């Protein structure tokens, strides 16, 4: 599952599971994104 992979990558980078889930929840669900794109956008969420 892509979301699980992204959460795993974010927690490896030091973010908490809750932070990772929050970043994923902020992503648009109507766009088809691969795992790398989801991770890029999730990381961009933390830069805001």
Per-residue pLDDT 10s for the chain (48 aa) are: 999 999 999 999 999 999 999 999 999 999 999 999 999 999 999 998
**Around 36, how many Cα atoms within 13 Å sit in the side-chain half-sphere?**
0
Structure tokens at 34: 């691969």
Determine the Cα angle at 18 with ends 14 and 23, to 5°.
Answer: 85
Which of 15, 38, 13 lies closest to 26 in space, CA to CA?
Answer: 38
Domains and CATH numbers, the chain: 2-47 (1.10.8)
C-alpha 4/C-alpha 9 separation (Å) is 9
**For residue 48, what pLDDT is reported?**
80
**For residue 38, what pLDDT is reported?**
97
The answer to whether residues 46 and 15 touch, using CB atoms and an 8 Å cutoff, is yes
**For residue 46, what pLDDT is reported?**
96
């Amino acid at each position: 599952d892509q979301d699980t992979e992204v959460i795993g990558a974010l927690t490896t980078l030091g973010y908490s599971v809750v932070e990772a889930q929050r970043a994923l929840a902020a992503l648009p669900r109507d766009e088809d994104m691969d795992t790398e794109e989801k991770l890029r956008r999730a990381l961009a969420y933390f830069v805001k």
